[in-house]
Amino acid sequence: MRRVHLFELEDQSWLPGPIRDASTDFLRFMLEAGDAYGPIVPKLKDALMKTGGEEILDLCSGGAGPVIDIQKKLAKAGCTVRITLTDKYPNHAAFKHARKCSGGVDFIEDSVDATAVPAHLSGFRTLFNSFHHFRPEMAQRILQDAVDQRRPIGVFDFSARRLPPQAVMLLGNPLAILALTPFIRPFRWGRLFWTYIVPIAPLCLMWDGFASGFRLYSTQELQGLADGLRSDDYAWEIGRAGAFTGSITYLIGYPK
């Protein structure tokens, strides 16, 4: 299917914070439980070693995503890094939970725009499960900003853009959030309220999960974004990692 940039509720500035946080908390819970980003750890480790990276600046972190698990896997592979979480709409409770449950994860309290990252924020930039939120011109701006500031960057997202997975998202997300919400940490009464009393969170996840699938970038589209950059002295690696049905597309760039 061709890429279609459907709107997602999570992107809207008017969406109440507790509802957005309930959605991002659930996504983080599912990513950790399914080890979705485990297959890209060797690629990320290799890029960190090539660039001498000891710190990751995670952009669009949402509910902290898979970063705690990735940090542990990197450490087990002999690559110890500190991670700083950032987001345009920071989920402070989730960020604090990540800091508490890890060794070397911290966060920026203020809003951080991935298309114009403050120059004083250093580190290997990463985006997990978030690049599809941006239209091509904005996605290219994120990459160009990294190039202009001479920062290495890694973009990692799901690769399926087919109708069967879309149907699973549409039907499965509400049932999953209803069943799993009590097990999500940190515990919050507000999350229970927006899930069971006024069930807006499951409906948001149902639509956003469905819309996300149409917005994912293929490897060919990622290559097109990289080709359009002013980055003659950058090396770009683009590909897929993991099983076919749950594979992750990646784009990694760093100064030669």
pLDDT in tens, 145-192: 999 999 999 999 987 666 555 556 556 667 888 888 999 888 889 999
> How confident is the model over 219-243, as a mean pLDDT?
92
**CA–CA gap between residue 111 and residue 95 (Å, rounded):** 13
Q: How far apart are CA 248 and CA 31, in angstroms?
A: 12
CA 106 → CA 30, 72, 77, 109, distances in Å?
Answer: 21, 15, 21, 10
DSSP 200: H
Question: Please, what sign has the CA dihedral across residues 223, 227, 229, 235?
Answer: positive
| pLDDT score for 232 | 85
Residue 93 lies in a domain: yes
Residue 239 lies in a domain: yes
Average pLDDT of span 215-230: 95
Q: What is the mean pLDDT of the chain?
A: 90
Q: Would you tell me how many other CB atoms lie within 10 Å of the CB of residue 154? A: 24
Percent of the chain scoring above 90 in pLDDT = 65
In a domain, 205, yes or no: no
Q: How far apart are CA 177 and CA 249, in angstroms?
A: 25
Is the model's pLDDT at 228 over the cut of 80?
yes
H helical segments located in the chain: 17-34, 41-51, 67-76, 92-100, 136-148, 163-180, 189-192, 200-215, 219-227
Phi-psi region of 156 (alpha: psi -120 to 50; beta: other; left: phi over 0): beta
Would you say residue 242 lies in a domain? yes
Percent of the chain at pLDDT exceeding 70: 93
Q: What is the CATH number of the domain that holds 229?
A: 3.40.50.150
CA-based nearest residue to 40, from 239, 221, 216: 239
- The span from the CA of 27 to the CA of 196, in Å, is 17
Q: How many CB atoms lie within 10 A of CB 185?
A: 12
- pTM (2 d.p.): 0.90
Is the model's pLDDT at 135 over the cut of 60? yes
Residue 96 lies in a domain: yes
Within a domain: residue 189? no
Asked, for residue 88, whether it belongs to a domain, the answer is yes
Range of the domain at 57: 35-161+216-255
* pLDDT (average), residues 197-220: 91
**Minimum mean pLDDT range among 20-24, 33-37, 50-54, 248-252:** 33-37
Query: What integer pLDDT is reported at residue 186 of this predicted model?
Result: 83
Predicted pLDDT at 167: 57
- Asked whether residue 139 is domain-assigned, the answer is yes
* DSSP-based three-state secondary structure for 64: coil
Calculate mean pLDDT across residues 107-129: 96
SS3 153: strand
pLDDT band of residue 142 (cuts 50, 70, 90) is: very high
**Token pair 């690559």 in the structure block, residue:** 79
Closest C-alpha among 58, 61, 68 to residue 32: 68
Q: How many domains does the chain have?
A: 1
Q: How do residues 57-109 score in pLDDT, each as one tens digit?
A: 999 999 998 999 999 999 999 999 999 999 999 999 999 999 998 888 999 99
